Structure 1
Amino acid sequence: MHRVAISSTGIFTPPEVITNAELVASYNAYAALQNARHADEIAAGTRVTLTDSSVEFIEKASGIQRRYVMEKTGVLDPERMRPHFTPRPDTEISLMAEIAVKACQDALSAAGKTAADVDGVICASANMQRPYPAMAIEIQTALGVQGYGFDMNVACSSATFALEQAVNAVRCGSARAVVVVNPEITSAHQAWIDRDCHFIFGDVCTAILVERLDLAPAGSFEVLGTKLLSTFSNNIRNNNGFMSRSEDRDPDDRDQLFRQEGRKVFKEVCPMAAEHIEQHLKSLDLTPQQVRRFWLHQANLGMNQLIAKKLLGRDATVDDAPVILDEFANTASAGSIISFHRHHADIAAGEVGVICSFGAGYSIGSVVVKRLP
């Protein structure tokens, strides 16, 4: 059995930014249009008046200040409220694979590696552009990796769940190195028309290179252990799928996009995540107080503050649990990886950290790592 390390990470950041002020102006214009169009139903009491959003509401509810997106014009159009993507022919690389390749190349470059050093690609994302052929195989081929690729979807926990599969493949010797890549074009399944969640998501892509420790560059992070948990809940759900057309569903129906019971999620997931991390550390003879840094899923500032406080027994600082959601918003599976990517350089040799994500399912995944000399 081989010892395993995270050698490097990479990121692709989309070219366009939407501020909260822009988003609020767009949503409020949409709400005014809808209220005018349905004035008779509202007067009759058969339809609810859409209320305005505000920058203050968004920042208080989430801590989010802005987000990156692949295309903002369509999102901000009150008559459209979704991005506008041009269909590509099958002979052209898909949008999701294109951004994944860029993030993978960034990760490989950071470790001084090439595609020839990699045996597998796992594309782990909250939503896939298509059912088949697998996005991972398209990414693998575009990179020039000789080996295998497969897709995984465990919503916002996709990256950590995929990391366990990558670690196990390397540990048992079936691969020298595996790239886990998380292309998240969340703007395409975000409900921009819903005041309660129109601000939540942003687009991004991250990549993680997992390889045998003896092949990893100096300063890599040894994987001490991984731990996964899932339990079914309807509190975060998206019903869009291949059966929707057979059910004669309208793709704009509210349940064909992201939706959640936010308060229930907060109340239920926070203690679950804290307990999960604590038990994972205990299995490795570690305590939360011995952890130098927690790279947590970036969904909500209040959630992360509460989880970190439960673990540490005190209010956590941004050094304990870095925040990137103010800039990126919730990027689904990529959030904890962006946090690690941005905030690992100052970790000293021998210090321990935890990467943890949590989300729909419910699902929770954690990876405990130690900095190498």
Structure 2
Amino acid sequence: MTLRAVLAGAGSYLPERIVTNAELADRIDTSDEWIIERTGIRQRHIAGPHETAAYMGTRAAAAALAHAGAKASDVDVIILGTSTPDQAFPATAVAVQAELGTGGFGFDVSAACSGFVYGLSIADAMIRSGQVRGALVIGSEVYSRILDWNDRGTCVLFGDGAGAVFLRAEEQPEGSAGRGILSTHLHSQGSLGPLLYVDGAVGRPELSGHLKMNGREIFRHAVSKLASAVDEALAANGMHSADVNWLVPHQANLRIIDAMGRKLGLAPDRVVVTVDRHANTSAASIPLALSEAWHSGRMQRGDLLVLEALGGGLTWGSALVRL
């Protein structure tokens, strides 16, 4: 037997306000057809003034704990992936800790859209080592506050929201038969950082603080790097694409998602897609998609899930999980 991080529950939170493509087309030079054809996005949720990363993350985390039948006292660590923290410091995770009333400790992870996968990997390592027994991993993003709403190439792509999972330490059989996180695989390439970044910094008011992206190059790197990360996860566990039940990808662009589904040979109904309704919610996108699919009843205990994401840095990674 081996100690493993098992997905005990998942939760999500989406802002109340929904902005459609048609509404954006009233403000900038774009159209519903143009956005759908290039991205698959039809609408996105936009946070109100009270819906901060901590506010949304807390509610997603509370939902994950409820789904897992867990209490605040079961949480030993909170790891929160975000590129849009409430403030420079303290970490947004400790604000969530204060509102939930948990003990233990918490910290943020800054890996852009890969933040949830990075956080999942850290929590998995902590559980395997015996350092913690219960971990909340959260992705919470308010990208609407770092977008240039006059740049039609980027502002139509993103939305706000939060997703969370609660991981519980459990003894499981050796190998891939047991439940839980089987392996995670993380990568970064700093030389590609200029492809996707925010030109802002603490104490630099002369910078715009807006997201900048070379979409064409990001698309090119995403397909090859994500495919490699998925192959790496399967090979590490002696598995093949035919063993996978569900692909839960980062929800950036429907064309990238479709390409990854085809690579794994999965039917479209085995690929979780929320980008049409949520747009790109960065670190929140995978836990949002996972929570929706799990709560819908489509996923069953014992299913094999592949999670993958790529974001600014560039950072990318994958996780293989037995639900």
Q: Tell me the TM-score normalised to structure 2 length.
A: 0.92
Q: Which residues in structure 2 correspond to 1:61-100 (within 5 Å)?
A: 61-71=38-48, 85=49, 95-100=52-57
Residues 164, 288 of structure 2: 8 Å contact kept: no
2:235 corresponds to 1:282: yes
2:94 corresponds to 1:137: yes
Identity %: 27
Mapped to 2, the partners of 1:305 and 1:225 lie a distance apart of 24
Render the CA deviation track for 1:277-313: whole Å, top value 9, x for unaligned.
Answer: 012111100111210111000000001111222333x
Superposition deviation, residue 369 in structure 1: 1.0
Question: Which letter maps to 1:59?
Answer: I
Among 236, 250, 254, the alignment partner of 1:297 is: 250
Q: Which residues in structure 2 correspond to 1:1-373 (within 5 Å)?
A: 2-27=3-28, 52-71=29-48, 85=49, 95-214=52-171, 221-232=179-190, 233=192, 234-245=194-205, 249-251=206-208, 256-312=209-265, 316-344=266-294, 345-371=297-323
Mapped to 1, the partners of 2:300 and 2:100 lie a distance apart of 32
RMSD of the TM alignment (CA)? 1.8
Superposition deviation, residue 204 in structure 1: 0.5
Residues 274, 308 of structure 1: 8 Å contact kept: no
Mapped to 2, the partners of 1:8 and 1:221 lie a distance apart of 13
Superposition deviation, residue 318 in structure 1: 2.8
Name the stretch that deviates more: 303-312 or 195-204. Answer: 303-312
Render the CA deviation track for 1:62-112: whole Å, top value 9, x for unaligned.
Answer: 0000001113xxxxxxxxxxxxx37xxxxxxx8322221111110000111
Mapped to 2, the partners of 1:151 and 1:305 lie a distance apart of 31
Mapped to 1, the partners of 2:300 and 2:12 lie a distance apart of 23
Superposition deviation, residue 221 in structure 1: 4.9
1:146–1:310 distance in 2 versus 1, CA, 3 Å: same
1:239–1:347 distance in 2 versus 1, CA, 3 Å: same
Name the stretch that deviates more: 229-238 or 147-156. Answer: 229-238
- In terms of fraction of residues, the more strand-rich structure is 2
Name the stretch that deviates more: 102-111 or 303-312. Answer: 303-312
Mapped to 1, the partners of 2:226 and 2:199 lie a distance apart of 25
Superposition deviation, residue 187 in structure 1: 0.6
Residues 83, 110 of structure 2: 8 Å contact kept: yes
Mapped to 2, the partners of 1:269 and 1:102 lie a distance apart of 31
Superposition deviation, residue 118 in structure 1: 0.8
SS at match of 2:70: coil
SS at match of 1:157: helix
Mapped to 2, the partners of 1:317 and 1:66 lie a distance apart of 24
Mapped to 1, the partners of 2:12 and 2:301 lie a distance apart of 24
Residues 4, 222 of structure 1: 8 Å contact kept: yes
Structure 1: give runs of 5+ residues left out of the alignment. Answer: 28-51, 72-84, 87-93
SS at match of 1:281: helix
SS at match of 1:355: strand
Mapped to 2, the partners of 1:250 and 1:281 lie a distance apart of 43
1:22–1:211 distance in 2 versus 1, CA, 3 Å: same
Mapped to 2, the partners of 1:319 and 1:95 lie a distance apart of 33
Question: Which letter maps to 2:230?
Answer: I
Structure 2: give runs of 5+ residues left out of the alignment. Answer: 173-177
Mapped to 2, the partners of 1:275 and 1:176 lie a distance apart of 31
Mapped to 2, the partners of 1:3 and 1:18 lie a distance apart of 40
Mapped to 1, the partners of 2:199 and 2:183 lie a distance apart of 33
Which one has the largest radius of gyration? 1
Residues 199, 210 of structure 2: 8 Å contact kept: yes
